[in-house]
Amino acid sequence: MTTPTGKPPLDRKTLIDLGFIEARAKILDVAAFLDRLDRAPANDVMTDFRVDAIRAALEIALDASPARAERILNSWSDPSTQPIAHADGKAARGAHLPR
């Protein structure tokens, strides 16, 4: 690679200039989503494992340790190691549902 592995070619200030507005918009979308859930009738559903997964991910995103994206993906992942007996549908859910 022509630039050293691990080092972006651009400095931090330039990356902020390039990426801030988009990141800002994405954070607003997440905040608005959580607000929307607060406004919606609960219908006996006080929490959902997927929303819990988002809240856990936000805590990781805010901490000072590196590899936040990797740690968030790991936090959402199924930690089991053995294949399941039968496929339970076609689609994944986005976060691991604790059994």
Partner 1 sequence: MYIDPHIHMVSRTTDDYARMAAAGCVAVTEPAFWAGFDRSSAAGFQDYFRQLTDSEPRRAAAYGIAHHAWICINPKEAEDHGFAREVMSMIPAFLSRPNVLGVGEIGLNRNSKTELAVFEEHLEIAAQHNSLVLIHTPHLEDKLKGTRLILDAIAAHGKINPARILVDHVEEHTVRMVLDRGMWAGMTLYPDTKCTAARAIDIMEMHGTERIWINSAGDWGHSDPLAVPKAVVSMRARGHTAADIHKISFDNPRAFLSQSGNFSVNAPRPTIS
How many Cβ atoms are within 10 Å of 95's Cβ, its own excluded?
19
Shortest distance (Å) from residue 49 CB to partner 1: 10
Closest listed residue to residue 72, CA positions, set 54, 57, 94: 57
What CA–CA distance (Å, rounded) separates 58 from 15?
A: 21
Comparing CB distances to partner 1, the nearer of 44 and 88 is: 88
Binding to partner 1 (CB under 8 A) within 46-85 occurs at 67, 69-70, 73-74, 76-81, 83-85
Chain positions contacting partner 1, by CB under 8 A: 1-3, 5-10, 14, 18-19, 67, 69-70, 73-74, 76-81, 83-96
